[in-house]
């Protein structure tokens, strides 16, 4: 049996300000898409499957980038938020290289939040680096990167 909880677009944006896997471990996302409610159910154990990751992409990305992001997410990781490239440091849904992930507002916010909680600089950096595997933060990072640098950052298009 699946349980239900709602996460609105405003809650997704608020969660980005203080990245937390716990804050985003929900079982339902809702967005108005094409005039109709758009919803995705999480697995009963709260895990992110490919359908839930696709829902995150639809919720986070503006309509202008939605189709592009769905194509890239499918091509780069098959919507697997835990995907890790064996021959590079690329990780997550949008396969961020470590060096690129460290430039994102999502990494920087996670680092600052860890430091405020008393983590050492190296511990905060490790914690922020692991956020690349969070599908919402990874998708928000992809949106930031495509807005600032364009889609050429990805080989998949």
3-state secondary structure of 37: strand
pLDDT value for 41: 61
pLDDT value for 113: 96
Spatial distance between the Cα atoms of 149 and 110, rounded to a whole number of angstroms: 22
3-state secondary structure of 60: helix
Residue numbers in the chain where pLDDT is lower than 50: 1-36
Q: What is the pTM of this model?
A: 0.77
pLDDT value for 39: 58
pLDDT value for 125: 97
């Amino acid at each position: 049996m699946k349980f239900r909880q709602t996460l609105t677009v405003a809650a997704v944006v608020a969660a980005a300000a203080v990245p937390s896997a716990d804050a985003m471990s929900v079982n339902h996302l809702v967005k108005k898409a094409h005039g109709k409610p758009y919803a995705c159910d999480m697995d009963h154990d709260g895990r992110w499957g490919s359908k839930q990751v696709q829902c995150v992409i639809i919720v986070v990305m503006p309509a202008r980038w939605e189709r592009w992001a769905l194509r890239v997410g499918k091509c780069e990781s098959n919507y697997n938020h835990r995907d890790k490239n064996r021959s590079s440091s690329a990780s997550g849904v949008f396969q961020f290289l470590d060096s690129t992930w460290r430039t994102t507002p999502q990494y920087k916010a996670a680092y600052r939040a860890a430091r405020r909680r008393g983590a050492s600089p190296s511990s905060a950096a490790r914690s922020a680096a692991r956020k690349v595997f969070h599908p919402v933060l990874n998708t928000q990072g992809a949106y930031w990167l495509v807005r600032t640098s364009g889609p050429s950052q990805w080989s998949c298009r």
